A and B are shown apart, each in its own frame.
Chain A
Amino acid sequence: MGSLGCDPFFALLRAPGAARGENRGIFTALILMSLAMALSIPRIYLFVDPLLGGVNAANLILRYSLFTVFLILGLKLAAAFNAQGAARFIGGPAGRCVLAASVLLVTVLFLLSDLPRSSPGLSGYRDQVTVLAYSDAGRLYTAYVAACLVPALSAFALNSRQPGDIRFSAGLIALGMSAAVVHTLLSLFVWGLERGWWDTLLNYAAVIVVAFGLALMWNSHRMAKKHPKPGLLARAYGSFDKE
């Protein structure tokens, strides 16, 4: 529930700025993240899906919006942290291929599955092989982007020469991305693992932590704009002169 609350909240905080044209990318990502979170909640899902025909199209929308969120976040974070490797892997041919493959795979597997009635998280159809493959394929792209970002983000978070507030935010986002990777590895490679607490916890913790990290960045940016630092020379001389 925490993740459901914090995403729209952080998105709303950015709404005035987005209206002025500031950083609409991250704003869109947060809105889509809120949408995805909302559709993960059975009550909302069972309300929305029947409106779309009751054939679980809402689940497909959820997958697509997550892909978009990770595409935006991946490109933005890679550019922000000056991670050329990550930027190449996400925005370059490799990244585009993984994205296209994921979209194709998800769409095809969705169409192949027999999903006549709304079922949150498709939990009622877990006996179909195509449904299982569908949810795994849905994680492919997110895990790929997250894995590309983790090294650069963690390196920044561990670099003591960087400012503390940005390091902390970078650390939070790195933590969230790592959780997404671990979640995917667990569900892809540990066959027969019961879907238990880790399934929910890792996912939602990841969302909360990433959203929180982004909110802190937004706050740092706002603060930096509000209180511009005095000239470098004056600052340097002031500190040289201090006892």
Chain B
Amino acid sequence: MSVSAKAFQTWRAKAAPLESTADLCRLAGIKRSTLAQQLVRGKVSVSTVVQVARACDQDPVEVLSFFEEYRGLRDGVRAPTAAELISQVSYVCILEQVVARSRQPGIAPEELPELCPFPHRNSVRGWFEAVDPGDLRQRLSASTGVAPQNLSAQLTAGRLASALALEAARLAGVSLASGLVATGLLTPDECGWPPGGREQALAQLSDADLVILARDRLDALGKVLKKVENDEKSNSALLEQLG
């Protein structure tokens, strides 16, 4: 979701009154033509806003809350839930935890294998499923008017429009910024995700729960891979016939 160019200019006049547009773009690391085009069209993309806010040493969450579309974001930021934290651990890292706990009973937390950085490609879908009480797709579709198949397509592709991520968090009753962390718009630090939070959440899991978590992840992965494998098989059979 973009913000209106007018609101952006108002904010900019307050936040960075001295910098020229060129300076701002250089600091934020965006192309001048990109920003110019967005201003002409009357819509500034939210990632531009975040980049400019970072360049001006301002808290992006605070800055976003200034805009109509993201009003209340700042006040809606809370600590992430354990499920959200765990959703940002890839299946390989979870398997590594299973292996580590199996090989060394009572392993010290600092000896556990390091978790991969996030967000990764499965972050968005993982987060959405972690906060979904069961009917989130339908409710999100009803409240935003975006078709359910469009939502599914975005999640499968590992994307989610910022407006949808925000609304999903609101409907699910979790921290409003969580979805924006999963989509990579904001960093975990900016949204109050504690460092080492994922490790702690995993440590809270009993051995049985950890194994069940690993099983569920492998189950989901297996389904995806099976589908890709079948598609590839039929395509190579096709080429075998004609190539």
Contacts and interface: CB of A to CB of B under 8 A. Distances in A.
A19 B243 CA distance: 14
A236 B224 contact: yes
Contact of B241 (A79, A163, A239): A79
B242 A241 contact: no
A174 to B, nearest CB: 13
Interface residues of B, number: 26
B40 interface: no
Interface string B173-203: 0000000000010000000000000000000
Contacts of B232: 229, 232
A162 interface: yes
A23 interface: yes
A126 interface: no
Interface stretch (A34-42, A187-195, A196-204, A213-221): A213-221
B228 interface: yes
B124 to A, nearest CB: 11
Contacts of B241: 23, 76-77, 79-80
Contacts of A236: 221, 224-225, 228
A210 to B, nearest CB: 11
Nearest to B238: A80
Interface of A: 23, 26, 76-77, 79-82, 161-163, 166, 214, 217-222, 224, 229, 232-233, 236-237, 239-243
Interface of B: 90-92, 116, 119-122, 184, 221, 224-225, 228-229, 231-232, 234-243
19 contacts: A23-B240, A77-B242, A82-B234, A82-B238, A162-B231, A166-B238, A166-B239, A217-B243, A220-B239, A221-B239, A221-B243, A224-B239, A232-B232, A236-B221, A236-B225, A236-B228, A240-B122, A241-B90, A243-B184
